[in-house]
Chain A
Amino acid sequence: MSARVTLATEAFDPAELLGTFSRELAGEGAVVSFTGHARDRAKDGALVDALVLESYRGVTLASMEDIAADAMARFDVTRCRVVHRAGRILPGEAIVFVATASAHRRSAFEAADYLMDRLKTEAVFWKREEAPLGRRWIEPRESDHEDARRWHP
């Protein structure tokens, strides 16, 4: 049973993370991974130069570790990996990576879904889009909060 959580300040390679995660399996039958990438366009269709994610001291990593620990406690998963970027992220670069492993697939799917829903709404980051015409702060959408509430009935 292990959760590994990293706050990345440089670009990371999700394929390499998944490779490492899969090599470390100890007989589990299922691995689920999700990678979120920075979009090249804002909601209104305008091109985006970069996404900037601000973090706060040790609080950001602690919030990610709490979410990972909750996922490990809640689902029948043997291990999980969480990596989240901070700083200036270019379109196409990975922002967040989660991977989960379990004996059978359902728990791994659910744990990955849970990790992402809570990272979107509770991990301590502030996100803004930088575009030629200025910058705009992005808050979770109501649908993101609805997704997260599914786990707190």
Chain B
Amino acid sequence: MTTADEAKTVLELELCGKLADVGGAFVKTVIPAEGCSVAELFVMVARQHPALAPSLGGGRIRACVNEAVVAPNARVMPGDEVALFPPVSGG
């Protein structure tokens, strides 16, 4: 999906756990067409969805890209399946 600005694209992120209470199960975020780092993605999500900013700023949210939990310097590309994970809790 491409916006009017050819250099940007829309990425749909899935919000897991309590993040979905804040922002709904999915949020759309505009990212550069050439992709960005996870850390940059967090900044863009926080800017475009201010309700999520406090959660994303706490350093406790992990990104899952194409079913792998990745580091902040990992690359996110258009079309990737991205989910944001708050702290997990099993058992």
On chain A, the residues within 8 Å of B86 by CB distance are 126, 137, 139
CA distance A84 to B88 in the complex (A): 14
Question: How many residues on the A side are at the interface (Cβ–Cβ under 8 A)?
Answer: 27
Known contacts A54-B16, A54-B17: A125-B67 contact under CB 8 Å:
no
State the majority secondary structure of interface residues on B.
loop
On chain B, the residues within 8 Å of A123 by CB distance are 88, 90-91
On chain B, the residues within 8 Å of A53 by CB distance are 90
A96 touches B83 (CB 8 A): no
A71 in contact (CB, < 8 A): no
Total A-B Cβ pairs within 8 A: 63
B18 touches A125 (CB 8 A): no
CA distance A62 to B69 in the complex (A): 11
B54 in contact (CB, < 8 A): no
Known contacts A56-B16, A59-B64, A137-B17: A122-B88 contact under CB 8 Å:
yes
* In-complex Cβ contact of B88 among A36, A96, A121 (8 A): A121
Q: Which residue of A lies closest to B87 (CB)?
A: A139
B64 touches A56 (CB 8 A): yes
* Cβ distance A96 to chain B, nearest Cβ, rounded Å: 5
Q: Which residue of A lies closest to B86 (CB)?
A: A126
CA distance A122 to B69 in the complex (A): 12
A-B contacts, 23 listed (Cβ < 8 Å): A36-B91, A54-B16, A56-B14, A56-B85, A57-B67, A59-B64, A59-B69, A63-B88, A84-B90, A96-B90, A96-B91, A116-B91, A120-B90, A121-B90, A123-B88, A125-B89, A126-B18, A126-B86, A126-B88, A126-B89, A128-B17, A137-B86, A139-B87
9 closest A-B pairs by CB: A126-B17, A123-B90, A120-B91, A137-B18, A125-B90, A127-B89, A119-B90, A119-B91, A96-B91
